[in-house]
Structure 1
Amino acid sequence: MKRIVLLTDFSETARNAAVYGIQMFQEKKAEFYLFHAFDVEFSGSPYIMQVKDEMAEESQKGLKKELSILHRQFPNVRIHLISRYGSLIEVLRMEMSEAGLMPDMVILGCRGESALENFLLGSNAFDVIRHINMPLIVVPRTCSYRKPKKLVFATDLKTIDDNIALPLFELVRYLNAELMFVNVLEDEYINRLEAEETIAGYFPDVKLSFHFIDDSDICKGICSFAGDNGADMVVMIRYNYSFFERVFHPSITKKMVLQPEFPMIILHGLPKN
């Protein structure tokens, strides 16, 4: 049974992401974990234990309130509550350990006008993407769920491995969705036929297509392609630092990211020598 972690800070943004995640995976009979982390900024305070206890109580109250709201919409979905003391990254890493939860997917919201804009502005979402090596789904604040039928995979066609392919293959098969690989043309030579054959081997019986676009602005090119082709989600690989950071480079202007809002799947590959 799949374990889906729904990160919350009790905001409407987080609640919307939780609803999105439950709607996506409820037919898979997954177990959901509503997860809240709280921390004390001034650890040297003599009242630290009192403050910590008060925050722990507030965390539990907030989780129970969110659970009540979610159960009104999803009365038959099993949702566990997890409250942890510490920084979000620290406690998530603990849950990823062998003694912890070991989630199959982490779902979180972002507050920007689009997922891309949110990353540019900096957020907890980007911190999670940078430091948590688990499959992630990042849901823009105003995005409502509709069953994804087309996923656009923005890639350089060179950084696909089992660690990336397996969770994506399982998700695409579960959704019965089409997977569209899109590569923004670069100066470096790519043997397209060989790359396509290699990638296709990871996704048997999945409807695949490969596309190459020429745009000096990678972010704009990917968003335009996704919008023009009716995509429901965009997939990115985190360990491909040069490609990833070119997409989210701070110099990209705000107007370039004010595109239709796409939830994003972030996958983490194994580092290559």
Structure 2
Amino acid sequence: MKTILIPTDFSENAMHAIDYALQLYKCEQTVFYFVHAYADEVYGFLKNSADTSISERTTNIEIRVKELLNDLISTKEEKVHNPKHTYKAIASFESLVDAVNDTVNLFNIDLIIMGTKGKTANKSITFGSHTVQVFKYVKCPVLAIPETYTYQHPKKILFPTDYNLPYKRRELKLLDTLCQEFKSDVHCLHISDFEDLSMRQIDNKKFLEDALPNAYLSFEQTAVQNRVTAIMNTIDEKAIDLLVMTNSRHSFLEDMLYRSTIDEIGLKIHLPFLVLQNLSR
């Protein structure tokens, strides 16, 4: 049984991510945890009001959030009745990152699925600040869904990699399960000026092949040039449905995440983006 965590602020983007998740795991026994973190709502309001105590404000917001979460579950149970799916609601008086981390650890979450932007995100950017924070600080795979993306089976997957670091077997198992369900092609893109691999890279590549037995794997190599350009060109050329990258120490993705936002570096993707967290747990 899969355990999926979906943070929600009840925005259209969050609802879109929920709909994507229900489609993606349509045929699998899955428990979905809908999580809303409301600490910012409490403290943000108190900055502008001296009339309400923090305990009263917290209680009022908690009641409202629980009602919204229960309404959300009722709506999904009625409109998308699926006996394979179970829904759980969590209202958390924490920051988003803390709430997500706590839920991941408590329920052994397999995957986080979330929208790329929330209610207040700038429409001109690809990823909102909350999404980037989850990418950076939550040690669990994260699948971000753009608000304009229309669901398609992830049959063509792009996996840029330099083969320099060993992979996490559990996270590759997550990817392999998707490949088994959708009979997916996985295009492994090695962005490097050197065609020959080191012994370590060869071992990691072999591990990748062994850990993805249900994927139709292909391997390509391209010069470094501009990594973003190489990724975007491949997405267009291969009609990619899902981009997968690994967040590891000193990786290309880590470099992107720790420079304000991804958008400043130009990675403007408009398809689902799965981030595997190859970090110490």
Coarse TM-score class (shorter-chain normalised): 0.7 to 0.9
Residue aligning to 2:149 = 143
Matching of residues 1-273 of structure 1 within 5 Å: 1-39=1-39, 40-41=42-43, 47-76=53-82, 77-97=85-105, 100-111=106-117, 117-119=125-127, 122-161=128-167, 162-186=169-193, 190-191=197-198, 196-247=205-256, 249=259, 256-259=266-269, 261-271=270-280
The answer (yes or no) to whether the contact 1:135–1:268 under 8 Å persists in 2 is: yes
Matching residue's letter, 1:175 = F
Q: Higher mean Cα deviation, 217-226 or 62-71?
A: 62-71
1:101 to partner: Cα distance: 1.6
Deviations 1:224-259 (A, max 9, x none): 101210110000111143311445556987694445
RMSD of Structure 2 on Structure 1 (CA): 3.1
| TM-score, length basis structure 1 | 0.85
The residue matched to 1:134 in structure 2 has which SS?
Answer: coil
The residue matched to 2:278 in structure 1 has which SS?
Answer: coil
Name the count of aligned residue pairs: 267
Q: Distance in 2 between matches of 1:252 and 1:66?
A: 31
1:133 to partner: Cα distance: 0.7
The residue matched to 1:208 in structure 2 has which SS?
Answer: strand
Q: Distance in 1 between matches of 2:267 and 2:277?
A: 23
Matching residue's letter, 1:35 = V
The residue matched to 1:78 in structure 2 has which SS?
Answer: strand
Deviations 1:20-78 (A, max 9, x none): 01100121121112111110326897711001001101111221232244334312343
Matching residue's letter, 1:36 = H
1:220 to partner: Cα distance: 2.1
CA distance 1:238–1:258, shift in 2 (3 Å): closer
Q: Distance in 2 between matches of 1:253 and 1:94?
A: 28
Percentage of pairs with the same residue: 23
Deviations 1:96-134 (A, max 9, x none): 33xx22211110001399xx9534xx5100101111111
1:159 to partner: Cα distance: 2.2
Q: Higher mean Cα deviation, 101-110 or 213-222?
A: 213-222
Structure 1 unaligned spans of 5+: none
Q: Distance in 2 between matches of 1:68 and 1:109?
A: 21
